[in-house]
Protein backbone atom coordinates (compact mmCIF):
# COMPACT_ATOMS: atom_id res chain seq x y z
CA UNK A 1 0.00 0.00 0.00
CA UNK A 2 1.29 3.44 -0.92
CA UNK A 3 2.62 5.71 1.83
CA UNK A 4 2.61 9.46 1.27
CA UNK A 5 4.50 12.10 3.25
CA UNK A 6 3.58 15.70 3.90
CA UNK A 7 5.13 18.46 5.97
CA UNK A 8 3.25 19.63 9.02
CA UNK A 9 3.49 22.85 11.01
CA UNK A 10 2.25 22.48 14.58
CA UNK A 11 1.61 25.39 16.89
CA UNK A 12 2.91 25.01 20.44
CA UNK A 13 2.99 27.52 23.28
CA UNK A 14 5.68 30.00 22.25
CA UNK A 15 6.94 27.84 19.39
CA UNK A 16 6.25 26.40 15.96
CA UNK A 17 7.09 22.74 15.50
CA UNK A 18 7.84 21.09 12.17
CA UNK A 19 7.00 17.50 11.36
CA UNK A 20 6.43 15.01 8.57
CA UNK A 21 3.25 12.95 8.41
CA UNK A 22 3.74 9.56 6.76
CA UNK A 23 0.38 7.92 6.08
CA UNK A 24 -1.57 5.36 4.12
CA UNK A 25 -4.78 6.51 2.45
CA UNK A 26 -7.18 5.27 5.15
CA UNK A 27 -5.20 4.91 8.39
CA UNK A 28 -6.49 2.81 11.28
CA UNK A 29 -4.22 4.25 13.99
CA UNK A 30 -2.15 7.40 14.55
CA UNK A 31 1.42 7.25 15.89
CA UNK A 32 3.58 10.04 17.27
CA UNK A 33 7.29 9.26 17.27
CA UNK A 34 8.87 11.26 20.07
CA UNK A 35 12.59 11.35 19.41
CA UNK A 36 15.75 11.11 21.46
CA UNK A 37 17.79 14.10 22.60
CA UNK A 38 19.94 15.40 19.75
CA UNK A 39 18.33 13.15 17.12
CA UNK A 40 16.50 15.01 14.32
CA UNK A 41 13.14 13.69 13.14
CA UNK A 42 14.49 12.88 9.67
CA UNK A 43 16.43 10.02 11.28
CA UNK A 44 13.10 8.25 11.93
CA UNK A 45 11.61 8.68 8.44
CA UNK A 46 12.46 5.19 7.17
CA UNK A 47 11.02 3.58 10.29
CA UNK A 48 7.92 5.79 10.10
CA UNK A 49 7.19 4.86 6.49
CA UNK A 50 7.68 1.16 7.29
CA UNK A 51 5.37 1.50 10.30
CA UNK A 52 2.70 3.32 8.30
CA UNK A 53 2.56 0.44 5.84
CA UNK A 54 2.96 -2.30 8.43
CA UNK A 55 0.19 -1.06 10.75
CA UNK A 56 -2.02 0.86 8.28
CA UNK A 57 -1.16 4.02 10.16
CA UNK A 58 -0.55 7.73 10.01
CA UNK A 59 2.85 8.27 11.61
CA UNK A 60 4.16 11.69 12.62
CA UNK A 61 7.88 12.39 12.99
CA UNK A 62 8.60 15.83 14.42
CA UNK A 63 11.29 18.00 16.01
CA UNK A 64 11.25 19.60 19.45
CA UNK A 65 11.21 23.39 19.63
CA UNK A 66 14.38 25.28 18.67
CA UNK A 67 15.97 22.11 17.35
CA UNK A 68 16.63 20.70 13.86
CA UNK A 69 13.61 21.49 11.66
CA UNK A 70 11.75 23.38 14.41
CA UNK A 71 14.07 26.35 14.76
CA UNK A 72 17.52 27.26 15.93
CA UNK A 73 19.13 26.27 19.25
CA UNK A 74 21.45 29.28 19.14
CA UNK A 75 20.39 31.73 21.82
CA UNK A 76 17.26 29.70 22.56
CA UNK A 77 15.59 29.68 25.97
CA UNK A 78 14.07 26.22 25.48
CA UNK A 79 14.42 23.64 28.25
CA UNK A 80 13.84 19.94 28.68
CA UNK A 81 10.58 20.82 30.42
CA UNK A 82 9.39 22.28 27.11
CA UNK A 83 10.53 19.21 25.21
CA UNK A 84 9.19 16.68 27.71
CA UNK A 85 5.86 18.12 28.86
CA UNK A 86 4.72 20.78 26.37
CA UNK A 87 5.72 19.94 22.81
CA UNK A 88 4.42 16.32 22.83
CA UNK A 89 0.99 17.51 24.02
CA UNK A 90 0.79 20.08 21.22
CA UNK A 91 1.65 17.36 18.73
CA UNK A 92 -1.04 15.00 20.01
CA UNK A 93 -3.61 17.79 20.08
CA UNK A 94 -2.92 18.43 16.38
CA UNK A 95 -3.21 14.72 15.60
CA UNK A 96 -6.55 14.50 17.41
CA UNK A 97 -7.90 17.38 15.31
CA UNK A 98 -6.78 15.71 12.08
CA UNK A 99 -7.79 12.16 13.10
CA UNK A 100 -10.49 12.59 15.77
CA UNK A 101 -11.76 9.01 15.79
CA UNK A 102 -8.49 7.05 15.61
CA UNK A 103 -6.51 5.46 18.46
CA UNK A 104 -3.24 7.23 19.27
CA UNK A 105 0.04 5.45 19.92
CA UNK A 106 3.25 7.01 21.23
CA UNK A 107 6.63 5.50 20.40
CA UNK A 108 9.22 7.27 22.52
CA UNK A 109 12.96 6.90 21.93
CA UNK A 110 15.18 7.70 24.92
CA UNK A 111 13.93 11.13 26.12
CA UNK A 112 10.76 10.59 24.10
CA UNK A 113 9.92 7.57 26.24
CA UNK A 114 11.30 8.82 29.56
CA UNK A 115 9.01 11.85 29.39
CA UNK A 116 5.63 10.18 28.86
CA UNK A 117 4.73 9.81 32.54
CA UNK A 118 5.03 13.58 33.02
CA UNK A 119 2.53 14.52 30.28
CA UNK A 120 -0.97 15.68 31.22
CA UNK A 121 -2.85 13.58 28.67
CA UNK A 122 -0.86 10.36 28.86
CA UNK A 123 -3.75 8.40 30.42
CA UNK A 124 -5.74 8.92 27.20
CA UNK A 125 -3.07 7.46 24.89
CA UNK A 126 -4.03 4.02 23.60
CA UNK A 127 -0.57 2.43 23.47
CA UNK A 128 2.87 3.51 24.68
CA UNK A 129 6.13 1.93 23.52
CA UNK A 130 9.43 3.20 24.93
CA UNK A 131 12.74 2.29 23.32
CA UNK A 132 16.09 2.76 25.10
CA UNK A 133 14.37 4.84 27.79
CA UNK A 134 15.32 4.42 31.43
CA UNK A 135 16.01 5.79 34.88
CA UNK A 136 19.72 6.23 34.40
CA UNK A 137 22.62 7.68 36.35
CA UNK A 138 26.18 8.25 35.20
CA UNK A 139 27.40 5.34 37.35
CA UNK A 140 25.20 2.97 35.31
CA UNK A 141 27.41 3.54 32.27
CA UNK A 142 30.00 0.87 31.47
CA UNK A 143 33.70 1.65 31.44
CA UNK A 144 35.46 3.27 29.59
CA UNK A 145 32.33 5.08 28.33
CA UNK A 146 31.68 6.33 31.89
CA UNK A 147 35.02 8.17 31.98
CA UNK A 148 34.22 10.02 28.77
CA UNK A 149 30.75 10.85 30.08
CA UNK A 150 32.15 12.30 33.32
CA UNK A 151 34.47 14.54 31.33
CA UNK A 152 31.55 15.73 29.22
CA UNK A 153 29.02 16.30 32.02
CA UNK A 154 31.43 17.78 34.56
CA UNK A 155 33.87 19.76 32.40
CA UNK A 156 33.40 20.08 28.66
CA UNK A 157 29.64 20.52 28.61
CA UNK A 158 29.33 23.12 31.39
CA UNK A 159 32.24 25.13 29.96
CA UNK A 160 30.72 25.02 26.48
CA UNK A 161 27.35 26.43 27.52
CA UNK A 162 29.03 28.99 29.77
CA UNK A 163 30.89 30.54 26.84
CA UNK A 164 28.50 29.75 23.97
CA UNK A 165 24.79 30.42 23.42
CA UNK A 166 24.09 26.69 22.90
CA UNK A 167 25.47 23.22 23.56
CA UNK A 168 27.68 22.11 20.62
CA UNK A 169 26.48 18.49 20.59
CA UNK A 170 27.82 17.88 17.07
CA UNK A 171 31.34 18.58 18.28
CA UNK A 172 30.99 15.85 20.92
CA UNK A 173 29.34 13.28 18.66
CA UNK A 174 25.96 13.65 20.37
CA UNK A 175 23.78 14.54 17.40
CA UNK A 176 22.51 18.01 16.51
CA UNK A 177 23.35 21.11 18.57
CA UNK A 178 21.03 21.77 21.53
CA UNK A 179 19.67 24.82 23.38
CA UNK A 180 21.82 25.37 26.44
CA UNK A 181 18.82 25.06 28.78
CA UNK A 182 18.10 21.63 27.34
CA UNK A 183 21.66 20.53 28.00
CA UNK A 184 21.68 21.81 31.58
CA UNK A 185 18.48 20.02 32.54
CA UNK A 186 19.57 16.84 30.74
CA UNK A 187 22.81 16.96 32.74
CA UNK A 188 20.89 17.39 35.99
CA UNK A 189 18.91 14.21 35.31
CA UNK A 190 21.96 12.08 34.61
CA UNK A 191 23.82 13.29 37.70
CA UNK A 192 20.90 12.81 40.10
CA UNK A 193 19.71 9.56 41.67
CA UNK A 194 16.15 10.91 41.48
CA UNK A 195 16.40 11.59 37.71
CA UNK A 196 13.19 12.96 36.14
CA UNK A 197 10.83 12.26 39.09
CA UNK A 198 13.06 14.42 41.26
CA UNK A 199 12.96 17.43 38.90
CA UNK A 200 10.31 19.85 40.19
CA UNK A 201 10.36 21.70 36.86
CA UNK A 202 8.52 18.75 35.30
CA UNK A 203 5.69 18.98 37.80
CA UNK A 204 5.83 15.35 38.90
CA UNK A 205 4.28 12.19 37.49
CA UNK A 206 0.83 12.91 36.17
CA UNK A 207 -2.47 11.79 37.65
CA UNK A 208 -4.30 9.84 36.45
CA UNK A 209 -1.28 7.79 35.38
CA UNK A 210 -0.99 5.65 32.30
CA UNK A 211 -2.80 2.41 33.12
CA UNK A 212 -2.48 0.43 29.89
CA UNK A 213 0.21 -1.95 28.67
CA UNK A 214 3.54 -0.12 28.63
CA UNK A 215 6.06 -1.81 26.33
CA UNK A 216 9.59 -0.95 27.48
CA UNK A 217 12.32 -2.05 25.07
CA UNK A 218 15.91 -2.38 26.28
CA UNK A 219 18.89 -2.94 24.00
CA UNK A 220 21.50 -5.35 25.30
CA UNK A 221 24.42 -3.34 23.89
CA UNK A 222 23.13 0.12 24.91
CA UNK A 223 25.94 2.00 26.68
CA UNK A 224 23.94 5.15 27.43
CA UNK A 225 20.88 3.55 29.07
CA UNK A 226 21.71 -0.10 29.75
CA UNK A 227 18.94 -2.65 30.37
CA UNK A 228 19.03 -2.20 34.16
CA UNK A 229 18.00 1.44 33.77
CA UNK A 230 15.08 0.46 31.53
CA UNK A 231 13.81 -2.00 34.16
CA UNK A 232 14.19 0.68 36.85
CA UNK A 233 11.94 3.09 34.95
CA UNK A 234 8.95 0.76 35.50
CA UNK A 235 8.62 2.28 38.98
CA UNK A 236 7.50 5.54 37.35
CA UNK A 237 4.38 3.77 36.03
CA UNK A 238 2.81 1.88 38.95
CA UNK A 239 -0.61 1.64 37.27
CA UNK A 240 0.71 0.25 33.98
CA UNK A 241 1.18 -3.37 32.96
CA UNK A 242 4.87 -3.52 32.03
CA UNK A 243 5.81 -5.51 28.94
CA UNK A 244 9.60 -5.53 29.24
CA UNK A 245 11.63 -6.66 26.22
CA UNK A 246 15.42 -6.93 25.96
CA UNK A 247 16.75 -7.19 22.42
CA UNK A 248 20.18 -8.60 21.54
CA UNK A 249 21.64 -7.72 18.12
CA UNK A 250 22.82 -11.25 17.35
CA UNK A 251 19.27 -12.58 17.70
CA UNK A 252 18.38 -10.57 14.59
CA UNK A 253 21.56 -11.28 12.64
CA UNK A 254 22.95 -7.84 13.48
CA UNK A 255 26.28 -6.75 14.89
CA UNK A 256 25.19 -3.65 16.78
CA UNK A 257 22.07 -1.76 17.87
CA UNK A 258 23.29 0.58 20.60
CA UNK A 259 21.33 3.49 22.00
CA UNK A 260 20.50 5.27 18.76
CA UNK A 261 20.78 3.01 15.74
CA UNK A 262 17.94 0.63 16.52
CA UNK A 263 15.96 3.01 14.26
CA UNK A 264 18.51 3.00 11.43
CA UNK A 265 17.32 1.46 8.17
CA UNK A 266 20.23 -0.98 8.29
CA UNK A 267 18.70 -2.44 11.46
CA UNK A 268 15.19 -2.84 10.05
CA UNK A 269 15.25 -6.53 10.97
CA UNK A 270 14.57 -5.56 14.58
CA UNK A 271 11.65 -3.21 13.91
CA UNK A 272 8.86 -5.84 14.14
CA UNK A 273 10.07 -6.72 17.66
CA UNK A 274 9.52 -3.10 18.77
CA UNK A 275 5.83 -3.03 17.94
CA UNK A 276 4.64 -6.65 18.29
What digits encode the pLDDT tens for the residues 175-196? Answer: 999 999 999 999 999 999 999 9
Domain count, the chain: 1
Domain containing 197 equals: 4-275
The CATH number of the domain holding residue 44 is 3.40.50.1820
Percent of all residues in the chain with a pLDDT value above 90, rounded to a whole number = 99
Q: What is the pLDDT of residue 215?
A: 98
pLDDT digits (tens, 9 = 90+) for 245-270: 999 999 999 999 999 999 999 999 99
Mean pLDDT (the chain) is 97
Q: What is the dihedral of CA 191, 197, 202, 207, to 10 degrees?
A: 170
pLDDT average, residue stretch 11-30: 97
Tens of pLDDT along 101-128? 999 999 999 999 999 999 999 999 999 9
Those residues with Cβ within 8 angstroms of residue 215's Cβ, 6 or more apart along the chain or in another chain: 127, 128, 129, 130, 243, 245, 274
Per-residue model confidence as pLDDT tens digits over 48-66: 999 999 999 999 999 999 9
Amino acid sequence: MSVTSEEWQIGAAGAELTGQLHAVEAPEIVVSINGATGVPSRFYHAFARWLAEEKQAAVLTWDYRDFAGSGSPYGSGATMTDWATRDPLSVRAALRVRFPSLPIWVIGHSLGGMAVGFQDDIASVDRVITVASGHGHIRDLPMPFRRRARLLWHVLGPLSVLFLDHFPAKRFGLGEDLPKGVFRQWRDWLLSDAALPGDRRLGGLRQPPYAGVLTTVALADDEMLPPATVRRMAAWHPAATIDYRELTPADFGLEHLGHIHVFSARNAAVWPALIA
